[in-house]
Amino acid sequence: MKRSLLTLHTEPYTAEREWAVEGIPVLTAAISLPQPVPAQDGVSRRIRRYYRLQCRSFLHYCENFLFPWAAAEYRAALSASAPLPHFHAELTYRVTYNESGLWSLYTQSRERTVPGQTLLNRWGDTWDLSCGYPVSLPSFFPPRTFWKKRLLALAASEIERQERAGTARYLPDWKRRLRRSFSARNYYLTDEGLSFFFPMYALAPAVEGIPAFVLPYGRDGLGRLADPPA
């Protein structure tokens, strides 16, 4: 019987692209995403295809959204004899857990466009290496567990603690925004626990980046990584 993977070895797959107007570069994109090495089994090949598709999708987004915007800013600056803009977009990744048959990471894009504006987007992925498919967040909790309510309560408690300590600043209506901006897809695993996050601007001003919170293993019914997901 074929043995399941317990860990996944990967190396960066990189790509770069440049877009120009009248020979002047106005947008550059740099990508670094994981690729399993060697990709000799079905699970590794499936994961490789997934991140190659993410690479192509990001380049498609750059070409069809960011490039027209950069070109328009370039022509406006040229007409006004202002400094010419140069947009830059990058897509990178960080592996956060890789053992016990689970491989978890997040990918993150950073867009630097007009002066003073930087946009971050993050996506979390957790893969079951026994089958090569993503693991849903509820799978780490026992059945009939109010896992969403508990995660939101943890986030609210941590936000209040940070504001009292003066270590972070959130929007005045963050309590109303908390449930509305929560997504069960926005999570990844770490050695300390399950990390779940919220989009940039959803709860806090840009200076706070992407708010993330960690639920330790063994708390609120969260299964440990040595145990298979429910």
- In a 13 Å sphere around the CA of 27, the CA atoms on its Cβ side amount to 24
Q: What is the DSSP letter of 208?
A: G
Listed in sequence order, the residues at least 6 apart from 149 whose beta carbon sits closer than 8 Å to its beta carbon are none
Residue 229 confidence (pLDDT): 41
Beta-carbon count within 10 A of 11 CB: 9
Check if the beta carbon of residue 70 is closer than 8 Å to that of residue 113.
Answer: yes
Q: How far is CA 210 from the centre of its chain?
A: 9
Check if the beta carbon of residue 181 is closer than 8 Å to that of residue 199.
Answer: yes
Q: How far is CA 59 from CA 21, 32, 72, 79, 87, in A?
A: 17, 12, 19, 28, 14
The candidate with the shortest Cα–Cα distance to 75, out of 67, 84, 66, 63, is 84
Sheet with 118-128, edge to edge strand ranges:
10-21, 24-36, 87-99, 102-112, 118-128, 133-134
CATH topology of domain 137-216: Actin; Chain A, domain 4 (3.90.640)
Sheet with 212-216, edge to edge strand ranges:
187-189, 193-197, 212-216
pLDDT tens for the 230 residues of the chain, in order: 356 788 999 999 999 999 999 999 999 999 999 999 988 899 999 999 999 999 999 999 999 999 999 999 999 999 999 999 999 999 999 999 999 999 999 999 999 998 888 999 999 999 999 999 999 999 999 888 899 999 999 999 999 999 999 999 999 999 999 999 999 999 999 999 999 999 999 999 999 999 999 999 987 667 643 344 43
Q: Which CATH architecture has domain 10-134?
A: 2-Layer Sandwich (3.30)
Q: How far is CA 92 from CA 26, 47, 55, 207, in A?
A: 21, 16, 10, 20
The whole model's pTM is what?
0.91
Domain coordinates of the chain in residue numbers? 10-134, 137-216
Check if the beta carbon of residue 62 is closer than 8 Å to that of residue 87.
Answer: no
